[in-house]
Amino acid sequence: MDTSDVNILIVDDEESVRSSLYKWFIEDGYTVDTAADAKEALQKLEKQPWDIILLDIKMPGMNGLELQERIRDIDPTIVIIMITAYASVDTAVQALKAGAFDYVTKPFDPDDLEHLIRNAIEKRKLTRENLQLKQKISQLSPEETIIAESPQMKHVLELVDTVAQTDSTVLIHGESGTGKEVIARTIHNRSRRRLFPMIAVNCGALPESLLESELFGHEKGAFTGAQYRRKGKIELADGGTLFLDEIGDISPKTQLDLLRVLETKQFTRLGGNQIIRSDFRLICATNKNLEEEVRKGNFREDLFYRINVFFILIPPLRERREDIPALAHFFVQKYSRAMNKPIHDISPEAMKRLMEHNWPGNVRELENAIERAMVIGKPPVIQPQDLPFAQVLPFDPATMDSDSLEAIEKAHISAVLARTHWNIKRSAEILDIDRVTLYNKIKKYNLQKP
Amino acid sequence: MRNTLYIVPVHHPRLENLELLKQALSEVFSLHVEFLNLELDIEAVFNIRRHQYHSTEILAYLLDRMPDDTERILAVTDLDLYIPILTFVFGEAQLRGRAAVVSCHRLKNEFYGIPADNDILMDRLIKEAVHELGHTYGLIHCTNYACVMHASTYVEEIDIKDYHFCPACQALLAGTEPRQP
Ligand SMILES: [Zn+2]
Ligand SMILES: [Zn+2]
């Protein structure tokens, strides 16, 4: 909607009301004019058509109610909003009966005023699609980059594309650091809701009472310290996407409250009874096995079925090592730009380390490792010693019991185990022996997991 | 020569936050930014019935006292601001003018009964300062929710938007003709 196509006339005898309302609407891009009394208003009504008129009830000379009658005679389709002080709410009710669209009481809550005008415009059916604007916005939210060299991630991307076209609820499962929010954002950006925001809430980070206020908002006085009304994330997500991260961590009470919202798409703010509707698409993420949590009685089964409509599993980085080089190069370029530092590559030895590392912290750990290497490394390439886990030497001669072949084998195996964080499968691969052999050697040399 | 953006602290105790704001504004507007002490008498703009401070009067005060080399002048305050028709404002600016004011009062988490967080406060303060200064360059509200010129009537809406102007607003800003004296 282009607000400049909406003509608003403000009729009020008080200069400060006229000027501040005028400014408010100008800043919102409306075409607006003012009149100090009924006479001036009627003159301006003759000159051009108006969409919305804000009318002060109490004015010297012809008052607002009489003027309203005259306006209705001139153009009954104009939306009239009455402005009143506390004392004259009765008069406002009278005005409504006479056909005014609504009334506002001075001073207005900025949000109420905004909603009122929006509703008034809707009434005039002035909303229309603005293709140019849509194009502008889609250029604005560049796609988050998902690196997908491995077949597993290519499959994830296919799922993302499929589900983005629908409005169905999505559950994303993945270890921490696998980039669940990036996946959620990609779904949002590729969906028809991309013109509205995606609102993210990390449910694991907040205690129950704060999380409830965060999600549902609260009314003034809902609890100690709640001096003012606060909008919740569910309300803010109206039209867009609500992303609930770490959904497995929410308390039984919040689970129940959330279930109700999902069933009815409506809710009340904490301490309030006004019913609020919000049209949002839900994407949840978790690093827990929710089915297991349901079995253990920690997670409601009915809520689980509601959120588990479309399931996406992001595999851990160690199970898709093909993605490591592309991801690493992506982060090198990212930090090279951000730090303005001419490191643009990774040496083959450093890359070998990256490929061998077990990445318990997944993509985030990889990003942190590259960021750190970019800080301490010297141009033009990242070397193994720049990596945080590079201190592990193949083996340290000083710790060897003797120069015997067995001593060397023991030191070498323990070094490889340290490097892979005791990932037996990975270590066996590096050592090129089978896992049973590796277990036997661990036992033989009495190696201990740190 | 007008080339300085002055930041005027008005009843604002957290000076380290103003230092961060100064850096952010000089980056966004590529202006020389300085602090300026005007010792505004806050009682003069206080409304005893509403227990709030009239932001338009603060703007008038700034315009009266600003130095000759002022490109823009921004008051930053902890006071709760209002204009007569609204219950409160986060800030106010002269559209296509020189002066703006922003308040931290309702940008603070503790105002809404949740734990204080200075990082969030700073984030909101910078956005609101950039937003109000955007108005002084003639920018109006932008429908792009991520643009700093998007209108925010709730503090949570400030959190959604960015520090930056969207490309459309940036283009308008870049095309701003120097204001006639
Ligand atoms: Zn504004
Ligand atoms: Zn914009």
Query: Tens-digit pLDDT profile for chain A (450 aa)?
Result: 567 778 899 999 999 889 989 999 999 889 999 999 999 999 998 888 888 999 998 888 888 888 988 888 777 778 888 888 765 667 777 777 777 778 888 888 888 888 888 888 777 654 333 333 444 444 444 445 788 889 999 999 999 999 998 999 999 999 989 999 999 999 998 888 887 888 999 998 888 888 988 899 888 877 777 777 778 899 888 888 999 999 999 999 999 999 999 998 889 888 888 888 888 999 999 999 999 999 999 999 999 999 999 999 999 999 999 999 999 999 998 888 877 888 989 999 999 989 988 898 899 999 989 988 888 888 889 998 888 875 555 555 555 666 677 877 888 888 888 877 788 888 888 888 888 888 888 888 888 877
Q: How far is the CA of B29 from the centre of ligand 1 (A)?
A: 17
How far is residue A373 from each of residues A144, A354, B65, B150, measured CA to CA in Å?
23, 12, 51, 38
Report the pLDDT value the prediction gives residue A4, as an integer from 0 to 100: 78
d(CA A4, CA A31): 5
Which candidate in A12, A23, A32 is best for mutational testing of the B interface (most B CBs within 10 A)?
A23
Smallest Cβ–Cβ distance between B143 and the set A17, A133, A233 belongs to: A133
Q: What φ, ψ does residue A387 adopt, rounded to 5°? A: -90, 145
**Please, which residues have CB within 8 angstroms of residue A318's CB and are 6 or more apart in sequence?**
A358, A359, A423, A426
In terms of Cα–Cα distance, which of A5, A84, A112 is closest to A52?
A5
Q: Tokens at residue A155, please?
A: 């499959």
d(CA A14, CA A18): 6
Q: Does B27 touch chain A (CB under 8 A)?
A: no
pTM across the whole model: 0.60
**Residues A29, B140: C-beta atoms closer than 8 Å:** yes
Residue with tokens 């999600």: A215
B92 is catalytic: no
Q: At what angle do helices B167-174 and A131-140 cross, to 10 degrees?
A: 100
**Residues A27, B151: C-beta atoms closer than 8 Å:** yes
**Residues A108, B87: C-beta atoms closer than 8 Å:** yes
Report the pLDDT value the prediction gives residue A125, as an integer from 0 to 100: 55
**Residues B144, A140: C-beta atoms closer than 8 Å:** yes
Report the pLDDT value the prediction gives residue A86, as an integer from 0 to 100: 66
Instruction: Tally A–B CB contacts below 8 A.
Output: 99
Q: How far is the CA of B69 from the centre of ligand 1 (A)?
A: 25
Report the pLDDT value the prediction gives residue A53, as an integer from 0 to 100: 93
Backbone torsion region of residue A291, taken as left when φ is above 0, otherwise alpha when ψ lies between -120 and 50, otherwise beta: alpha
**Residues B86, A113: C-beta atoms closer than 8 Å:** yes
Percent of all residues in chain B with a pLDDT value above 70, rounded to a whole number: 96
Q: At what angle do helices A208-216 and A252-264 cross, to 10 degrees?
A: 10
Percent of all residues in chain B with a pLDDT value above 90, rounded to a whole number: 70
Average predicted confidence (pLDDT) for chain B? 90
DSSP-derived letter for residue B109 is: G
Q: Which of residues 95-154 of B touch A (CB under 8 A)?
A: 95, 106, 110-115, 135, 140-141, 143-146, 151, 153-154
d(CA A109, CA A12): 18
**Residues A197, B146: C-beta atoms closer than 8 Å:** yes
**Residues pairing with A244 in the sheet:** A201, A284
Report the pLDDT value the prediction gives residue A46, as an integer from 0 to 100: 83
Instruction: Compute the nearest-CA separation of B156 from chain A (Å).
Output: 7
Question: Which residue has better confidence, B124 or A77?
Answer: B124
Range list of β-strands (E), A208-317: 217-218, 230-231, 241-245, 266-267, 276-277, 281-286, 310-313
Q: Which of residues 40-99 of B touch A (CB under 8 A)?
A: 50, 56, 82-89, 95
d(CA A222, CA A228): 9
Of all residues in chain A, the one with the smallest CA distance to B134 is A27
Report the pLDDT value the prediction gives residue A339, as an integer from 0 to 100: 79
Q: Indicate the residue type of B30.
A: S
CA angle A98–A101–A106, rounded 5-degree value:
100
Q: How far is the CA of A89 from the centre of ligand 1 (A)?
A: 29
B132, B156, B157, B177: which is the annotated catalytic residue? B132
Set of chain B residues whose Cβ sits within 8 Å of the Cβ of A225 = 110, 113-114
Report the pLDDT value the prediction gives residue B124, as an integer from 0 to 100: 95
**Residues B84, A136: C-beta atoms closer than 8 Å:** no
Set of chain B residues whose Cβ sits within 8 Å of the Cβ of A1 = 143
**Residues A27, B160: C-beta atoms closer than 8 Å:** no
Instruction: Compute the nearest-CA separation of B148 from chain A (Å).
Output: 13
Report the pLDDT value the prediction gives residue B14, as an integer from 0 to 100: 77
**Please, which residues have CB within 8 angstroms of residue A127's CB and are 6 or more apart in sequence?**
A1, A121
Instruction: Compute the nearest-CA separation of A113 from chain B (Å).
Output: 9
Q: Tokens at residue A370, please?
A: 């590259």
**Is residue B126 over pLDDT 70?**
yes
CA dihedral A236, A103, B140, A129 (to 10 degrees): 60
Report the pLDDT value the prediction gives residue A128, as an integer from 0 to 100: 36
d(CA B181, CA B169): 24
Q: Are B136 and B95 in contact (CB under 8 A)?
A: yes
Which candidate in A114, A220, A230, A242 is best for mutational testing of the B interface (most B CBs within 10 A)?
A230
Instruction: Compute the nearest-CA separation of B1 from chain A (Å).
Output: 29
Smallest Cβ–Cβ distance between A17 and the set B82, B85, B155 belongs to: B85
Set of chain B residues whose Cβ sits within 8 Å of the Cβ of A269 = none
Q: Are A281 and A190 in contact (CB under 8 A)?
A: no
Q: Are B119 and B150 in contact (CB under 8 A)?
A: no
Q: Which strands form B70-77's sheet, in the order they lie side by side?
A: B32-35, B4-10, B70-77, B99-103, B91-93
Q: How far is the CA of B129 from the centre of ligand 2 (A)?
A: 15
